[in-house]
Every structure is written in C-alpha cells, then in structure tokens.
Amino acid sequence: MGRLNEYSVIGRKLPTETDPNPQLTRMRIFAPNDIVARSRYWYFVSKLKKVKKSTGEIVAVNQLHEKNPLKPKNFGVFLRYDSRSGTHNMYKEYRELSRTAAVEACYQDMAARHRSRFRNIHIIRVAEVKAADVRRPYIKQLLQPGLKFPLPHRIARPSHKRYKALIIANRPSTFY
C-alpha cells in the first residue's frame, strides 16, 4: 500500500436566493487522507471557480480504488509545476499497477529530476495509455514481447543445512 490515495471530492457553492441549485463540481484528488483531499479541493476550486471554503460546501468525499490492482498498466500523467524560473506544463508516462502508484512515482520523479515539491506539483489528469499509444522510449522498451531480465550473479544454495559444506574443492560458478 502506498502513501497516496485517490479521492473523488464533490462540492458546490452554498445555495442563495439568486441561485437555489448551484452547479456541483467534482475533482479527483490524490492525497494521503480525506482531510488533505478536502483541503486540496478548496485550493483548486478557488483558482478555477468563484468559490471559496466560506461560501461553499463539500457534498461528498469518496475514496476510489483500482479495478485491476495486480495487472501492470501504462499511465500518462499530465501535470503542471512551479519551478524556480516559472510554471511549466508536462506529460510523463509510467508503468505501474495503479493510478495512485503512477502518481506517487511521478512525485518522486519530479523531486529527483526537477527538485520540485508536492505543493508545487498540480496533477491535471491521469489517463491509462494503450501500448500502441505509448510515446516515451523508456516505457516502450518494457512493452517488447518476450522481455527477459538477466540474472548475472546467482549463488547456488544447499537445499538443506546438512548438505552445506564449509570447505569446497572448487570455486563456485555464479554466472550461467
């Protein structure tokens, strides 16, 4: 289980006499818990709509789970981040088991490559990408049929303790 979870947060502006049925706004937020998800919701909604926490309400917060958490998938992450020099849009691809794992990998990748913090990264969209539509070569190389990983240094272990010898006549061969 990872550090982040995916939440669907639904909110709206408080009803008034002029607008008795305000429009609902739904966002998919990646956060460690539902309290942070609510906070991030107000952060993003206040930038996009003319709503803030004092003039709005959260209708529902639901945690979303991966449909097939044991199958590796390709994910494309559209993000926007603030660097020391400005704001940049970016598209990155990851091969992970779930959307949350892909976003966690994205945050780690952005911290490593661009020294960007969690607060400076805004995940715009996370989409599952078909193998034919993968753009990045570092993900394409993982999609080749018959992919094998070498085991360069295998050490032969005895099947039981009684077969273990302290002194062996010849040096063991660890490459195959």
Q: What is the pLDDT of residue 2?
A: 67
Give strand pairing partners of 121.
81
Which contacts of 22-25 are long-range, i.e. CB under 8 A and separated by 24 or more positions?
Answer: 24/59, 25/49, 25/51
Average pLDDT, the chain: 93
What's the pLDDT at 170? 83
Contact assessment for residue 52 and residue 46, using Cβ atoms and an 8 Å cutoff: yes
Q: Confidence band (pLDDT; 50, 70, 90) for 1?
A: very low
Phi, psi (rounded to 5 degrees) for 149:
-110, 130
For residue 12, give both structure tokens: 């709206």
pLDDT for position 169 = 84
Helices (H), the chain: 34-48, 99-114, 137-140
The mean pLDDT of 48-74, rounded to a whole number, is 95
Predicted local distance difference test score (pLDDT) of residue 171: 82
Q: Over the stretch 115-126, which tens digit does the pLDDT of each residue have?
A: 999 999 999 999
Q: How many CB atoms sit inside 10 A of residue 103's CB? A: 23
DSSP per-residue string spanning 8-49: EEEEEEPP-SS-SSPPEEEEEEEESSHHHHHHHHHHHHHHHS
pLDDT digits (tens, 9 = 90+) for 128-163: 999 999 999 999 999 999 999 888 888 888 899 998
**Reported pTM:** 0.82
